[in-house]
Structure 1
């Protein structure tokens, strides 16, 4: 399970990391844009699950600098998350909605990791009653999501 340090937004306001991650799946990178690890198709699949892409950086980095697509950028003001990640720096974490780490993916194995996830969680079907938007509840785990 991921730790829950406070992170800081571009305005200097502190938030619990869990609030920044949102309620669904999340893809977290430390000082690396997590969206950049994946192909367009992999990003589309992750977004179909409602995944939020979050980049956390060290103090001194500009949280306002542009990020890819809709990646949320925040600062790790105390370095707590950096220390916790340790040897996984440069990788991205795929986080389940319950905040357990489903996978730690390097750029080299990111596509393989998403293929593995697709076997467990198929693409949610669009719900015409919701204007064609996939129903978040459609993405159900059919087995263990640990690697």
Structure 2
């Protein structure tokens, strides 16, 4: 960004030179900027993604409450219109995009396992554990 006439004084009484300023914006830990739009990710448990929930979304102007609808799939991107970066020298703003990362638990207790088995049954799915597959595979090689 040049600032005309703001540099060092010219030689022999000549006009001052120009001052050039380079501005670099450090990456933000939450937001990624693309033009006037802001992109971010947020984590939601698989139960909340399935049933729906409200989340607080940090924006450049402060937190906004957003209602995540029931049945939200992993990777779904929601758009908060007009919540991005203000446009310089014109009206309007960019948008704020929120990508939903659905967290699947790595370990669950027996009560949670039973609830999931019941859910699968109610959905018409059959539960086949990895242990059952191991046993049947070993049975193939028995003499």
Structure ranking higher on relative contact order (CA contacts 8 Å, 6+ apart): 1
- State TM-score, norm by structure 2: 0.19
- State TM-score, norm by structure 1: 0.18
Structure with the higher fraction of residues in strand conformation: 2
